[in-house]
Structure 1
Amino acid sequence: MINEDSVLTLDDFDEEIDGSSSDELLYERHRIVVDKGQTLIRIDKFLCDRLERVSRNQVQKAADAGFVKVNDVSVKSSYKVKPFDVITIFMTTPPVEFKVIPEDIPLDIVYEDDQLMIVNKPAGLVVHPGHGNYSGTLVNALAWYLQSDPNYDPNDARVGLVHRIDKDTSGLLVVAKTPEAKTDLALQFFNKTTKREYRALVWGDLTEDEGTIIGNLARNPKNRLQMAVFDDPEIGKHAVTHYKVLERFGYVSLVACRLETGRTHQIRVHMKHIGHVLFNDTRYGGNEVLRGTSYAKYKQFVENCFKICPRQALHALSLGFIHPTTKEELYFTSEMPADMSELLDKWRNYISNRNI
């Protein structure tokens, strides 16, 4: 017998996860007690056979992310289930009875046709409903805006957001209005043929003008609120970030980051990995004075900068892909948000005055 407190469909852990999941990280627990007569079997096959609407690939992704535990220890998908094992699964999806409620929330729509929309998300707006954020999200706003579209059901996973960005990251997102468009666009993201570029202000003066960061990403075992880079190819998901320095301000630098993959907190973690945490990234320690002088005047300047941009200084600047039906190559850009523009101007003035 298997004791299942509750069962939900496992989420896809490959995408950049918004604040509704990764920023809250309050996962529902699902407990399975293995029968005494159970023969040795891989845990991915075991769970796939016993959980409804869950594929083996989904279980493997959950295990890679550290969301599958046996006797309170995270295990790989190759783990062999034994009698009396207590399997605990952490989910990122809300309860199955949860429904998206349309809410009249303003949208900055950059482009729209009968197949898709491009939305410029402001910082602070959660993308998808989740624990602690069941309303007031971008998905709720889309449900309101598209409520007269008979083909768009906000509770149908076959339409809607194709990818996500973190709550406190601003910038461009693509929304599929039809199942065919979502399938096509999702495949482009999977095949890494989309073009995505970000702007980030990071701590420190980078040694190289440009470079590439390669490192598997998975949950930090010491802090489940964070992601971390792992050298072991068996841990986490392959991630690649290309960066180029655009401006240097002595103690901080403005960089362009081009994503080859789209993992949870990818830019934030990769930049920290090479010693350049994003400016004011509270989750990863960027809200401390990491470079500069010990003078009180400088520290006050940095504190004022934190107030101007009270979030990680990261903006999804551009997005390019092939239109799912017309096959036209589309490319969209967005302006730097006001808080980051003001922040950069403040650093420019600081450097200019310092060099006088």
Structure 2
Amino acid sequence: MKQPPKKENKDLTFQVTQPTELLNFLIEKIHGKSRNSIKSLLTHKQIKVGNKVVSQYNHPLNQGDIVKVTTVRHEEKKLIGLRIVYEDKYVIVIDKDPGVLSIATETEKRGTAYSILSEYVKEKHSQNRIFVLHRLDRETSGLMMFAKDQETQGMLQHHWDRSVRARSYVALVEGQVNQPQDTIVSWLKEGKTFVVHSSPIDNGGQKAVTNYRVLKNNRYYSLLALDLETGRKNQIRVHMQSIGHPVVGDKKYGATHNPIRRVGLHAMELSFIHPITNQLLEFSTPIPKKFTAVFGAEKSDVNIRRVNKK
């Protein structure tokens, strides 16, 4: 009986001849695939440098490195409420869905980003743990990171301002913001009812600085890019309320409209210096389609760049 032909092995192996970055190297070496197709290979963990799976676009390559491309997708258990954007021995970067708590509260212990990731790392080894570095509000979506050991947590927390190079957000706010870009500076203090109040003068609270730029607007809504110089509790939400343009869907801080059925705040960019390798890691996620749909655009056609600080 004739045997069926063996399936052709399409795995590829390349040797690096000069220093470069991973995505640029793959685009040069893999012919017949678009840039997005090659990014998909990285996203689905089909690229190895040496024996290590790498998904980071700007991973540095050195002369002599061996890069392997496999046709087999790395399938992992789907994590409900978040996606892992990057993971190594020391940190995990995730893209969190709106509606998911960052960490547990007295009344809600399960289904948080922390509990989901704890279960995920314990599947690999029962002694594995994760450690909180910062938080996002429940209704804010986007990028967060956790440490995978206490030493890494301490290094990042103690040098947070120096290590974290950018935390950028997009916000859909009520009304037409007429100032193309501006910097908001105020002091934030939390009251007894857990509402944070903003004061233009020092009220004994924490100084907060938010830079914003208008990406799109109409008579009813504005889409803003925001860079934070400080990371105070509810900072963006309070600052938007203070200029008369509360974040869409944020009833706690003055919103009266919610066309997108969620709070219009998304943590879009995160970059930091890795505490162990000293490498700059940069991550970004797309603007949620709901945010641009209110302007009649299904896809984001806005130009994102760093907000110029005054």
Alignment partner of 1:202 out of 173, 192, 196: 173
Task: Select which of 106, 123, 142 maps to 1:131.
Answer: 106
SS in 2 for 1:211: strand
- 2:284 partner letter: T
Contact 1:127 1:164 in 2 (8 A): yes
Shift of 1:276: 1.0
Are positions 1:257 and 2:226 aligned together? yes
Q: How many residues align?
A: 221
Rounded to whole Å, the distance in 2 between the matches of 1:151 and 1:191 is 31
CA distance in 1, matches of 2:286, 2:297: 18
Instruction: Tell me the residue number matched to 2:84.
Output: 109
Other-structure match for 1:293: none
User: What residue identity is the alignment partner of 1:129?
Assistant: A
Question: Counterpart in 1 of 2:302?
Answer: none
Distance in 2 (alpha carbons) for counterparts of 1:203 and 1:220: 25
Identity of aligned residues (%): 34
- State the partner residue of 1:321: 272
- State the distance in 1 between where 2:246 and 2:81 align: 32
Which runs of no fewer than 5 residues in structure 2 stay unpaired? 1-78, 300-310
Once the two structures are superposed, residues 157-188 of structure 1 have per-residue CA deviations (whole angstroms, 9 ceiling, x without a partner) of xx522110100000000111122221222234
Residue 56 of structure 1 aligns with which residue? none
Contact 2:189 2:203 in 1 (8 A): no
Counterpart Cα distance in 2 of 1:139 and 1:326 = 24
Alignment of 1:311 with 2:262, yes or no, is yes
Inter-partner Cα distance in structure 2 for 1:200 and 1:270: 12
- Give the match for residue 128 of structure 2: 152
SS at match of 1:118: strand
Q: Does 1:219 align with 2:190?
A: yes
CA contact 1:170–1:337 (8 Å) conserved in 2: no
* Amino acid in structure 2 at the alignment position of 1:285: G
Change (3 A) 1:232 1:209: closer
Residue by residue, what CA displacement relative to the aligned partner does 1:186-208 show, whole Å, maximum 9, x if unpaired?
23424474301000011122231
1:179 paired residue number = 150
- Write the letter of the residue equivalent to 2:128: Y
**Whose RCO is larger (CA < 8 A, sep 6+)?**
1
Correspondence list, 1:1-12, <5 A: none
Q: Is the 8 A contact 1:278 1:312 kept in 2?
A: yes
Amino acid at match of 1:212: T
Aligned partners of 2:295, 2:269: CA distance in 1, in Å? Answer: 19
Q: Secondary structure at the match of 2:249?
A: coil
Query: Helix, strand or coil for the counterpart of 1:126?
Result: coil
1:1-356 alignment, distance < 5 Å = 105=80, 107-147=82-122, 148-149=124-125, 152-153=128-129, 159-191=130-162, 193-220=164-191, 224-288=193-257, 306=258, 309-345=260-296
Distance 1:203 1:315 in 2: 15
Instruction: Check the 8 A contact 2:163/2:274 in 1, yes or no.
Output: no
- Determine helix, strand or coil for the equivalent of 2:152: helix
